[in-house]
Amino acid sequence: MLIAGNWKMYKGPAEAAEFCVELRRRLADLEGVDVAVCPPFTSLAVAVQVLAGTDIAVAAQNVHWDEEGAYTGEVSASMLRELGAYGAIVGHSERRQLFGETDEGVGKRARAALESGLSVIACVGETEAEREAGETEDVLRRQISVLEAEDNLVVAYEPVWAIGTGKTATPEIAQEAHAFIKSLLDVPVLYGGSVKPENAAELLGQPDVDGALVGGASLDVESFAAICLAGTR
């Protein structure tokens, strides 16, 4: 069971440090659940420092596929490793929708990160229009096709229509999608899409749901800690 918090473009270094100190305290006795926080690039170093010596991992929100080069604004896997990050998210729906990332690019980012020794959370999921058109499985099949099963790869299923909208896939919808993804690729699958303390236990209780990628609810330490604790039930 992995619970990862994606902070998106929130929490500079000072706020990140304060959050991580409190998270350490709240999860000091947590067992049976792996926890990761994914701060913005500017807050990665302080998160790594504050969480050193704990079982709480720190991952980046993106990673480039080349080791170095003329890629203004990008960060390589080796840079993240040197910083002490354990992994990276790739292919988040916001990266795909707002910044034009493609399936091919997501595959390249995932491969480069895995080859460098980082763990990867690769995001997949359909939009509301795609779901209503009955295209969910086609979309997931296409997005999964660029990935290969590896020990350090985890997939996160994010129904795009449930991200930041307050809508959540029912546990049945989540289970169905997770089972389909696992039929294509033998890796753990996290659920991402308006996970909150109120719905976490039911979602995490589904047989093919192996954890959660938490967005907005990961920004509040009490809320995020409650979701982590829900994974132990």
Which residues belong to the active site? 92, 158
Reference 209, options 230, 219, 114, 145; nearest CA is 230
Reference 52, options 74, 20, 76; nearest CA is 20
72, HSE (Cβ side, Cα atoms, 13 Å): 0
- Give the containing element (helix H, strand E) for 125: none
> How many whole angstroms separate alpha carbon 226 and alpha carbon 75?
32
Reference 228, options 8, 30, 10, 17; nearest CA is 30
Helix, strand or coil for residue 2?
strand
> How many whole angstroms separate alpha carbon 142 and alpha carbon 136?
10
Helix, strand or coil for residue 213?
strand
